[in-house]
Structure 1
Amino acid sequence: MTVSSDFIEETTEDGGIILRFSGDLSIAAIGDLPERLQSYDGEVQQLDLTDIGYIDTVGAWLIHRTARDNSAEIAGVDNEAERLIAAVRGVDQPAEVRPEPPNPLIRVLNEVGESTTIAFTTLAGLIGFFGSVVSAAGSLILHPRRIRWNAVIQRFDVVGVRALGIIGLMSFLIGLVIAQQGAVQLRQFGAEVFTVNLVGRLTLRELGVLMTAIMVAGRSGSAFAAQIGTMKLTEEIDAMRTIGVSPVEALVLPRFLAAVFMLPLLGFYASVVAIIGGGLLSWVELDIPPATFFARIREVVPLTDVYVGLVKAPVFGAIIAICGCYQGMQVKGNAEEVGKRTTAAVVQAIFLVIVLDAFFAVFFSWIGWN
């Protein structure tokens, strides 16, 4: 049964006042006690809790506040009440409802520092993960019976064969756009015939492989991260380790091999389809017959342009597979993490592909493959 809380006053020999509390110091029994204590104007020296019953957080806060405001001591408390009052006293800190906004310069520097730290940490993680993939590949070369050919062939189908439609459509439209825009600009100088050069060299050397890599990163790289991330979340990868199966060998290597081997084929296929699209527009708008267009392609496009695309493609494929699988392996906590890691995999893969493409452009220009 709840007993209403109350207090009585006692005066000491030196004129100080002791408030002796009784009843339950709880939210259900406290009544108007806070108002009475707030309006009390005597010189309180001590709060005596010897006769109280149950005390909760509200009662502990009331006692602490009264003692704090009057610089009084608390006496007669048992261990439980003392711990509760001490806990309330520990959180009695001034708080700003609306904290002062940080200095804009400091905030920008903090964000730049955090982003730089995350970037270098991720780069180190990607390099380490690539090392583990190479190590697993070396182990499989020494023990070829452990290669999961069914998984590799399935990844070839998913990454390569099933992407032919969307990559072909994208490349065909890109070829049309390049030819149309090139013809419009070159017509001003009476040089429409050089549209063939533009379409052939640009698609075989740059856009064919680059746009294919971006499409594969968005299509397959995100799938790699989501699939492996979901398996990590449901503890399937931990179960694989428990039974002695390497997740890198079983999950990462088939995806890595599929991306590395299929991207050159997809890139060459995209370049050919883009040239067909450019040839179609040249036939319709510039009256260049297909036979003349392809004969001109053979004349103006050096074989080194084909080599450039074929050299870049497997590197781009390796980057896409590493980013997707690495981010999938980093998933932990909850389902929201899968979405975040999938987005990170696509963004990182596209960024690294574009950065490496710029390095390749400088490198091939340096060695004379212009």
Structure 2
Amino acid sequence: MSEAGSAQLVEDGSRLSIRGDWTLEHVARLATLCANLQGKIAADSRIDARAIGHIDTAGASFLLDLAGADPARIDVDRASTRKLIAAVSRAENAPPAKRRRKDRGFIAILANVGQTLDDIWNDAIALVGFIGLILAAFARSALDPRRWRVTSTVAHIEQTGLNALPIVALLCFLVGAVVAFLGATVLKDFGASIYTVELVGYSFLREFGVLLTAIMVAGRSGSAFTAQIGSMKAREEVDAIRTLGLQPVDVLVMPRVLALLVSMPILTLVGMLAGIIGGAAVCVITLDVSPLMFITRLHETTGVRHFWVGMSKAPVFAFLIAAIGCLEGFKVAGSAESVGTHTTSSVVQSIFVVILIDALAAIFFMEINL
């Protein structure tokens, strides 16, 4: 056990001799010792600490109290002890840090806007790079069919496609009914209620069918991809895959991308049919249009090009949703909170990108008169 520190006045009180260990272990004894010595030490007396044992910051602080906060009055032999006392002296004499006032004004708004724009730019760059990795993985797999993971791909097709059919069909049916009801209500004032058929057909074949499906897939499958890969990242399973000599993009990303590329067009077709059926139900009930008349008018006035315009966007949306979902999963830092944060980010980014691409596609097809 170490010897507790001691102090003794010598030479008629002109010098204070220090011995023993001045450490945190003996802080109670040292505090009592220093309290008893206060007032007995002359202002110009020296503190002889050359025979001191072990010392830490607590002991150095007590010595400075005895020396009147003047490290020059303390005599020591070891350079390490001298540096420790000097460091404690600087820390005790340092002025208190000024608390920076949080700016909540215009500058703070600009800073937040700038930070947000920088985050968006970094996310865009990361997404472009990740898409490049996926395309490179596809190229490698095309040259080596043994890389295809059929079982995993089929399982994800069931998860993203078959299990999502009921909710996509119901959503599109209800939206189709709402669009038809609003169209019939507005067009009735102009005596053109029959054009509700064209409104429902155009809207769901070109836009609503694929857009509603993409939003549902982003919220359902994209978030699931992020949560699954994020959980694996948190449990260090992704690192284990790399340790086995496998590429996480080949094992985790490609089956999900392929599954969504297969499921999305099928879901889009179901969404188009469900939306048109919902609109037809409203037309039959409110406009006294027979189902045969609805189908005949839809066939005569709605060209097949509208169907292909909507279907052409489905694979693009599927690829982007899968890429964003998987990328956000790989960004998980290792905690449950991070999984939740990146899952939310995945849904928001996917829906934003889908709507942005859909708007650009609408302008493009309008310009080429398609």
- TM, length-normalised to structure 2: 0.86
8 Å Cα contact 2:60/2:85 also seen in 1: yes
Deviation at 1:334, TM superposition (A): 2.9
Deviation at 1:257, TM superposition (A): 1.1
Deviation at 1:354, TM superposition (A): 1.0
- Alignment-mate amino acid for residue 76 of structure 1: V
Instruction: Give the corresponding residue for 1:162.
Output: 163
Instruction: Give the corresponding residue for 1:58.
Output: 58
Instruction: Give the corresponding residue for 1:325.
Output: 326
1-side partners of 2:344 and 2:110: how far apart?
25
2-side partners of 1:65 and 1:206: how far apart?
79
Q: List per-residue Cα deviations over 1:282-312 (Å, max 9, x = no partner).
A: 2222322222222222233222221111111
Deviation at 1:267, TM superposition (A): 1.1
Deviation at 1:54, TM superposition (A): 5.2
Range that drifts further, 37-46 or 153-162: 37-46
Instruction: Give the corresponding residue for 1:303.
Output: 304
Q: List per-residue Cα deviations over 1:230-258 (Å, max 9, x = no partner).
A: 22232322332333322222221111111
- Alignment-mate amino acid for residue 291 of structure 2: P
Matched, 1:184 2:185: yes
SS at match of 1:326: helix
Instruction: Give the corresponding residue for 2:241.
Output: 240
Instruction: Give the corresponding residue for 1:30.
Output: 30
Instruction: Give the corresponding residue for 1:76.
Output: 76
Deviation at 1:158, TM superposition (A): 1.1
Instruction: Give the corresponding residue for 1:335.
Output: 336
Equivalent pairs, count: 365
Instruction: Give the corresponding residue for 2:48.
Output: 48
Identity %: 40
Unpaired stretches in structure 2, ≥5 consecutive residues: none
8 Å Cα contact 1:167/1:270 also seen in 2: yes
Instruction: Give the corresponding residue for 1:209.
Output: 210
Instruction: Output aligned runs, 1:116-135, within 5 Å.
Output: 116-135=117-136
2-side partners of 1:105 and 1:35: how far apart?
54
- Alignment-mate amino acid for residue 117 of structure 1: D
Q: List per-residue Cα deviations over 1:181-208 (Å, max 9, x = no partner).
A: 2233333333322222222211111111
Q: List per-residue Cα deviations over 1:125-147 (Å, max 9, x = no partner).
A: 21111111111111111111321
8 Å Cα contact 1:140/1:147 also seen in 2: yes
SS at match of 2:49: strand
8 Å Cα contact 2:18/2:51 also seen in 1: yes
2-side partners of 1:326 and 1:42: how far apart?
71
8 Å Cα contact 2:76/2:82 also seen in 1: no
Matched, 1:172 2:179: no
Deviation at 1:323, TM superposition (A): 0.5
Range that drifts further, 80-89 or 275-284: 80-89
Deviation at 1:41, TM superposition (A): 10
- Alignment-mate amino acid for residue 289 of structure 2: I
Instruction: Give the corresponding residue for 1:360.
Output: 361
Cα distance change on mapping 1:71 and 1:340 into 2, 3 Å: same
